Amino acid sequence: MAVENGSGMRRGHLAAVVLARGGSKGIPLKNIKKLSGKPLIAWVLRAALDSDAFDSVWVSTDSDEIEKVAKDYGAQVHRRSADVSKDNTSSLETIQEFLQHHPEVDIVGNIQATSPCLHPEDLIQVVDMIRAQGYDSVFSVVRHHLFRWREVEAAGEAAVPENLNPACRPRRQDWRGELYENGSFYFATKELIVRGLLQGGKMAYYEMKPEHSIDIDIDLDWPIAEQRVKRFGYFGKGTPTEVKLLVCNIDGCLTDGRVYVNQEHEIISYNVRDLDGMRMLQDNGVTVRLISERNISPALVSSLNLQCEVQTNVPDKMAVLRSWMSEMGLSLNKAAYMGCSSSDVECLKLVGTSGVPADASTAAKMSDSFICTRGGGRGAVQEFAEHIIDLMRSGR
């Protein structure tokens, strides 16, 4: 039983429990499908473990494959019974069974595996609300600025607004919006859970940032989650990412892909912001090299006035990339690549950090790469350079 000590702090065993059934109907084995290079469940497990806020971190599953991944990422595993592994089994029932097998647990933090942008700071603050502020249950919410209308049930029935006056619609900046559960986590004491409640007693909500609030339910959610986690996910603590080489495709990344031709000359254009981005990388110890499939003339390359090695007329970009990495003695996670076309896809998939302009081909965008908001020749290289620097400094 969770009790208070003399200082008013609630003590007792606090366990993080991630429910991860193997029989997901929407996306088979969704909980361990790769999201930005890591199993989906790994994102929340890393946040929970790195928070140092829990006495134990568990995954409740009926799957051998999920059990292996959970252990690989540092969690303990509770093998749930078949009785609580059905399509219609509720989270509450599954947590109640967990508590029957683990009577030492006094407080449960039920964390959803499908919320990959969860950060340790969120969990630390919620645990403080439970332990220091005396709340019996805390759940996550996100603020939405959405106008609600009552559902029309009969033909001819008039639509009725529920949270606005259509004659005086508020501007977003003049309206605080409304709070909605986002399903990221539910914390509750054992006493509440045994009584059949995940929310009750002295209740509180914890408002998460909108950019951290995402839930994956169906396939269509996956590409959105990929981009959200790359920009706003928690990438773990420890040694910062070390990038030593950036290889960038000239055509469509440094340039907008257009070539101007007259009878004597070929002309391409580039954005000076991208040169600033490359110099910033070089100032941070990153070697920058450029590559092109086209047979660009040496004079044209020289006219770009770029202080880096350039290789053109390249039929096999992968071979050149591997050659440069071997020359520098680099492992995959220390190389970065920026491309935009189908011929770049294998290189984008090979390296540890990859990026594409906003107007890259669909195949390049689907390569699990950072997608810039700017197009090729319009500052995309600078944006990707800033992303690399951010990763290096933040330990992602």
Assign residue 210 a region (left: φ > 0; alpha: ψ between -120 and 50; beta: otherwise): alpha
CA atoms of 6 and 208, how far apart (whole Å): 32
- Compute φ and ψ for 15, nearest 5 degrees: -115, 135
Pairing verdict, β 370-371 and 56-61:
unpaired
CA-wise closest residue to 364 among 384, 340, 386? 340
Catalytic pick among 11, 79, 150, 169: 169
CA distance 54 to 105: 11
- At position 176, the amino acid (one-letter code) is R
Q: For residues 210 and 143, what is the distance between their CA atoms, to the nearest angstrom? A: 7
99 exposed, middle or buried (CB, 10 Å; 0-12, 13-18, 19+)?
middle
Q: How crowded is residue 204: how many other Cβ atoms within 10 Å of its Cβ?
A: 16
Q: Rounded to 5, what percent of the chain is helix, strand, coil?
A: 35, 20, 40
Residue 150 annotated as catalytic? no
Helix axes 272-283, 380-394, angle to 10 degrees: 20
Closest CA to 98 of 85, 116, 86: 85
Contacts of 266 (CB under 8 A, 6+ apart): 259, 260, 296, 297, 300
The three-state secondary structure class of 240 is coil
CA distance 134 to 204: 10
Identify the DSSP state of 128: H
Catalytic residues: 169
